Structure 1
């Protein structure tokens, strides 16, 4: 799973310039994807894997994180074995955890590495770098990158149009459904409901439309902009242009 740095940096620049997604967010998506692929291919149950990726040099560092715990937070092994043997469910009020050496490290051991280690601190251990991932792990990594970029783009769009709420915006009519207009705003879809339109107006696909942006909504399907041409503030804002 080797990276072509020229391609990676070109993509980072393109996403930042065209979609407003900071390079840092995309780099974080790549790191999350590599961590997911590593854990799927080489990881152990409960293991926390983190990755640092340098887009300038291509250097990739893998590490394992363990959470510091002590006796008060851990169910003793004998008690844990007895519960498993009896298939006994834990009391929901019991906040103690099952110790997993891949996920936890006891306070005594943590302080041998970090003298001032405290409960819930993270102790980081280097892992052997890997670049050879199987097909399933690579596919999973790709899905993680796509998902992370979508999330970052949604945040970017919310920030951009959230700052423009209360302004007159313009877009192109995509389609009309049950009297409601769906308008292409570039990075988001605007909705001009039938009741927010001016009576008697007719709109054609591809026509340029101005409207008042009165609400920005985040949904599982993306960011939608609620528009109005009958809002009391529409004319007021229009004359300010």
Structure 2
């Protein structure tokens, strides 16, 4: 094979990022396919390369015969003696052939097709391997074409796609516009790797923060969580292990210069950067930014009631509830937002009494929760908590009359509770039963 052919082949390989070793494998595969096409057999042959001369040879073993009928396995005495002067009939000699001279037109065409096909496959694999390692990384490209369903981005070696669901409603692009996005995922298909990009994923905002804010890139300030509703608002919780670092200030920058560059990239989307706190009440208050929270009440089910002034209510809820939703997602628990009037109304309802009492009479460390007392059902526990009784230790101090004063508890239920206490609670004071009997005797006729 001519040196010019190899030079052209290596030039194509260099442009497409294919290694020399891979090119030689491709040529070897093409030569074997052409050999089969030429002779119609798959007899083992060797392919050797001379890198200095940029040549390739096919080496096979052939039998010396008078009149060759199968040129893949036989050679004439005259041709054999040109290779090995002392060759004679019946000998098996090693023959080196130049494919360019040996192959006919059809075999040569087969070799060409195989080479082109293998190069395309190698290029696809190279692109796939390159981009699969860039998942969740920022990448730049140019809008090549657009449809209602997606933007198609020229990435240089391949084409990326931003589906409509991965775009922000605020963004509008023209052909040729430069686009920054993260690689969401890479998949193999028959046409080559499919590179799916995103500008709506929270990870995109995280990468923008890493790019614009050195403290985050260096790990001095850490992003704990990001939640986002593209086009409306993004909330970012940040923290730092160093006491001398203002996490929020580092992200916002002097006069907001750092955060504004990210806002511009997001086409004006609002971004709230808040200080992360392991304290649920503090975290909930921070998460409801930009609204100012007046009071935070933690509920027994792990949620939060946030009380705000009347003029802060709409700000706390946000457009179509997006600020409240994002705050709850950022914190990882439910946040119930109420105005002062709504909260006062809530306090007046019987169902809220347990929640109110929790502010002042939560179970202390070392006390036994009512749930651990066998025989008490959930409804009875709820009624007891509404009456301000939160532990077994509180309960044993009550008489039947005390229990009957609680809304929803009658004489039978009260006596049942006393019987449960007597059966399951071990008392240091052996006079407990006598006291209860005394209280029963003192009951007015």
TM-score normalized with structure 2 length: 0.38
Q: How far apart, CA to CA, are the structure 2 residues paired with 1:42 and 1:230?
A: 58
SS of 1:219's equivalent in the other structure is coil
Counterpart pick for 1:56 among 41, 52, 55: 52
Counterpart pick for 1:8 among 6, 9, 16: 6
Contact 1:27–1:55 under 8 Å retained in 2? no
RMSD of aligned Cα (Å): 2.3
Query: Would you say 1:32 and 2:29 are equivalent positions?
Result: yes
Q: How far apart, CA to CA, are the structure 2 residues paired with 1:156 and 1:215?
A: 16
- Seen in structure 2, the aligned counterparts of structure 1 residues 14 and 149 have a Cα distance that, compared at 3 Å, is closer
Q: 2:373 corresponds to which residue?
A: none
Query: Would you say 1:138 and 2:134 are equivalent positions?
Result: no
Alpha-carbon distance, 1:209 to partner: 0.4
Alpha-carbon distance, 1:140 to partner: 0.9
Q: How far apart, CA to CA, are the structure 1 residues paired with 2:46 and 2:208?
A: 51
Q: 2:209 corresponds to which residue?
A: 239
Counterpart pick for 2:188 among 209, 213, 218: 218
Q: Following superposition of structure 1 onto structure 2, how do residues 58-137 of structure 1 map, counting pairs within 5 Å?
A: 58-63=54-59, 126-130=94-98, 131-137=101-107
Is there any run of 5+ residues in structure 1 with no aligned partner, and where?
A: 66-101, 103-124
SS of 2:172's equivalent in the other structure is coil
Post-superposition CA distance 1:62-113 (Å, at most 9, x none): 2469xxxxxxxxxxxxxxxxxxxxxxxxxxxxxxxxxxxx9xxxxxxxxxxx
Counterpart pick for 2:119 among 149, 154, 161: 149
Alpha-carbon distance, 1:126 to partner: 4.7
Alpha-carbon distance, 1:59 to partner: 4.0
SS of 2:97's equivalent in the other structure is coil
Q: How far apart, CA to CA, are the structure 2 residues paired with 1:127 and 1:43?
A: 18
Counterpart pick for 2:167 among 159, 181, 197: 197
Query: Would you say 1:42 and 2:39 are equivalent positions?
Result: yes
Alpha-carbon distance, 1:127 to partner: 4.8
Q: 2:286 corresponds to which residue?
A: none
Q: How far apart, CA to CA, are the structure 2 residues paired with 1:7 and 1:127?
A: 23
More helix by share: 2
More strand by share: 1
Q: How far apart, CA to CA, are the structure 2 residues paired with 1:156 and 1:214?
A: 18
Contact 1:171–1:209 under 8 Å retained in 2? yes
Consecutive aligned runs of 4 or more in structure 1 exceeding 4 Å deviation? 125-128
Contact 2:166–2:197 under 8 Å retained in 1? yes
SS of 2:10's equivalent in the other structure is helix
- Seen in structure 2, the aligned counterparts of structure 1 residues 50 and 204 have a Cα distance that, compared at 3 Å, is farther
Larger Rg: 2
Q: How far apart, CA to CA, are the structure 1 residues paired with 2:53 and 2:95?
A: 19
Alpha-carbon distance, 1:177 to partner: 2.1
Q: How far apart, CA to CA, are the structure 2 residues paired with 1:209 and 1:30?
A: 39
Post-superposition CA distance 1:7-42 (Å, at most 9, x none): 5235414522x3211111112111211221122113
Contact 2:6–2:54 under 8 Å retained in 1? no
Contact 1:171–1:183 under 8 Å retained in 2? yes
Q: 1:229 corresponds to which residue?
A: 199
Q: 1:21 corresponds to which residue?
A: 18
SS of 1:26's equivalent in the other structure is helix
